[in-house]
Structure 1
Amino acid sequence: MGSIVQPLLADQEKDLKEPAIPSNEEHRVAKLHELGVLDTPPEQRFDRLTRMAERIFNVPIALVSLIDSDRQWFKSAVGIDIKESPRQLSFCGHAILGEGLFLVPDARLDSRFADNPMVLGEPHVRFYAGCPLKALDGSRLGTLCVIDRKPRHLSEQEQETLRDLAAMVERELVAVELATIDELTGISNRRGFMLLAQHSLNLCLRQQVPVTMVYLDLNQFKPINDQYGHAEGDRVLHDFADLLRRSFRVTDLFARLGGDEFVVLLINASQALAESIIVKLQRVLDEWNDTQEKGYRVSFSHGITEYDLVRHADIGALMESADTQMYRNKSMVER
């Protein structure tokens, strides 16, 4: 896209309706830079949400776009292969000027965007919907946005769904500020999981799709620490988290709750699907064990619970059910 945008920009600069600058611009940009997110590699926790947005809205492009002083930079991008574009061309630059959703049903009919190179050329934007992403202090850092190449509208329910997804992206950005990522494994810790999981559950309920919780606990982990040292135990925890990533889907939410306990929330997944993924996890763990030659084999106990509106009042109740099931299975293993 960059090779097309720049010549068009030079020819049509006088016609562009550039986004205004927010009144708190200096503070806003400083807050964005303080997060340390700009120009960092892709992360599954953001890519999971843009893929969800792409599938839910059936659009070719979904972005987590952060508005820097002179560019919009994409922390996650589905449907385009560039990492940034000029801020003066950005729809997201307009979106951060307001509190709510910024909707452009048909850019060719909107005087602000009709001459925009991104409308006239690649990626041929016609429809845009973006929800501002806020830092803890309310600074609007960017957007979660969905883009189509044909005109369209969003229903009230679709607008609410986009807000929910944006709230989940916000939680991931806030996670940087609140240190809700487990430093050892690189996945969410308990606090980060609880912040994100309830939003995920609400989204699944609105979309009327199943959601399933998997609770995992490593068997006989203490002897590994005792006999081989805590550094070895930390390596096991780190590698087990990687095996979770390899086994589960990119849209699933992972966390290390503490010690040797892990949890996964599966979006749009039945208990039967979760059980099939556990079989895959067991297989990749067996392969990992076969390559270690450490004098021990890592194993796990698990509990699986599919969300039930009657039995589970919230995400905490769902987690408790899966935890209870896990301990029931674990007690059978340790007899």
Structure 2
Amino acid sequence: MTSAALPADEALRLEVLQRSALLDGPNEERFDRLTRLARRLFDVPIALVTLVDANRQWFKSCMGLNTTETPRDVAFCAHAILEDHIFLIPDARADQRFAHNPLVTGEPNICFYAGRPLKDLQGFALGTLCLIDQKPRELCDDDLATLEDLAQIAESELAGFQLSITDELTGITNRRGFLNLAAYGLTLCQRQKLPATLVFFDLDGLKAINDTRGHAAGDGLIRQFASLLAVAFRSSDLVARLGGDEFVALLVNVTVSDARRAVAALELAAIQEKQKPENTWDLQFSCGVVAFDPSRHGSISDLIEEGDALMYQAKRKKS
């Protein structure tokens, strides 16, 4: 058995996948509809939409299997995401790469596999739309074209999902995306006993800028702050715009003291931005920093609420 090599862009690919909010989510009719259709059109027992994570492939939609994931080192889809076209295995039992694979020699007894990589808006292959049969098969040109069409629809659904969790003004994660991703991050911290810290931000004086200079100026300030957040925090930190002038950052495996250092770096970046000749506004913000405590924070909403309260305390001290 031959395990798949890692894509050249693996680190970035995994980062995009983790931020997509697709992993470990609920079943969605938009994807289930496609796998039901694929199974019917190709008369196969199994059709899947898969996402290839660091050590597993997880099934966003699964028709014909009673599991939600398999190890990546035995996953056919880990091979498929390395391709730019449909990855086709007519008979895995006769293919040296797969003949001794436990998914071939045991349940679900894969014989035939066809997987078309699914790419996100940036071109990263996140997973596949795949067909599986327990007997040898070939696909004719019309079959390949049909699978390609279905895969393009699946990619459109992935793009729609990604856009639905992205803030249109700033390009960073929006409230919906943050709530999904942050819940996953807190679960990980509880499981691995890691610290987590939330920072709640509110821009100072945005209403006055909107009132005196117009909403275009206010929007510019919001975009500028989002850009500074990307500089001050790590790429692994979850940064989002909750709405209006409110932003939030969840830092996994980071203590409050380390989070405060990141905030200090953000304050310095804001001062440096203010000193640029082309800058015509004063970017200031207030924030609340709170450590995740599972005994007090039953959900990410509880953590946000406390961060919000601490932020208002800091804002009142300025007035």
User: What TM-score, normalized by structure 2, do the two folds share?
Assistant: 0.56
Conserved in 2, the CA contact under 8 Å of 1:175 and 1:192? Answer: no
Distance 1:112 1:329 in 2: 67
**In structure 2, do the counterparts of structure 1 residues 104 and 255 end up closer, same or farther at CA, with 3 Å as the change threshold?**
closer
Distance 1:222 1:263 in 2: 19
1:10-66 Cα offsets, whole Å, 9 max, x none, are: xxxxx99xxxxxxxxxxxxxxxxxxxxxxxxx789616669xx9xxxxxxxxxxxxx
Pairing 1:134-283 to 2, within 5 Å after superposition: 142=127, 173=158, 176=161, 179-283=164-268
User: Which sections of structure 1, spanning at least 5 residues, go unmatched?
Assistant: 1-14, 17-41, 54-68, 70-74, 79-90, 120-132, 134-140, 144-171
Letter in 2 for 1:46: V
Conserved in 2, the CA contact under 8 Å of 1:211 and 1:266? Answer: yes
1:179-216 Cα offsets, whole Å, 9 max, x none, are: 22110001121122112211111011111111110000
Pairing 1:1-335 to 2, within 5 Å after superposition: 46=16, 98=65, 99-103=67-71, 114-115=96-97, 142=127, 173=158, 176=161, 179-334=164-319
SS at match of 2:221: helix
Larger CA Rg, structure 1 vs 2? 2
Letter in 2 for 1:275: R
Distance 1:310 1:92 in 2: 30
SS at match of 1:233: helix
Q: Taking every aligned residue pair, what percent have the same amino acid on both sides? A: 37
Distance 1:241 1:44 in 2: 22
Letter in 1 for 2:210: N
Letter in 1 for 2:241: R
Distance 1:295 1:111 in 2: 68
Conserved in 2, the CA contact under 8 Å of 1:44 and 1:250? Answer: no
Conserved in 2, the CA contact under 8 Å of 1:180 and 1:188? Answer: yes
**In structure 2, do the counterparts of structure 1 residues 327 and 294 end up closer, same or farther at CA, with 3 Å as the change threshold?**
same
Letter in 2 for 1:101: E
Conserved in 2, the CA contact under 8 Å of 1:180 and 1:191? Answer: yes
Distance 2:233 2:162 in 1: 27
1:300-319 Cα offsets, whole Å, 9 max, x none, are: 00000000122211111111
SS at match of 1:296: coil
Distance 2:219 2:206 in 1: 10
User: Would you say how many aligned residue pairs link Structure 1 and Structure 2?
Assistant: 214
User: How much is the aligned-residue C-alpha RMSD, in angstroms?
Assistant: 4.3
**In structure 2, do the counterparts of structure 1 residues 203 and 114 end up closer, same or farther at CA, with 3 Å as the change threshold?**
farther
User: Which sections of structure 2, spanning at least 5 residues, go unmatched?
Assistant: 3-11, 24-37, 39-50, 76-91, 102-117, 119-125, 129-156
User: What TM-score, normalized by structure 1, do the two folds share?
Assistant: 0.53
**In structure 2, do the counterparts of structure 1 residues 310 and 77 end up closer, same or farther at CA, with 3 Å as the change threshold?**
closer
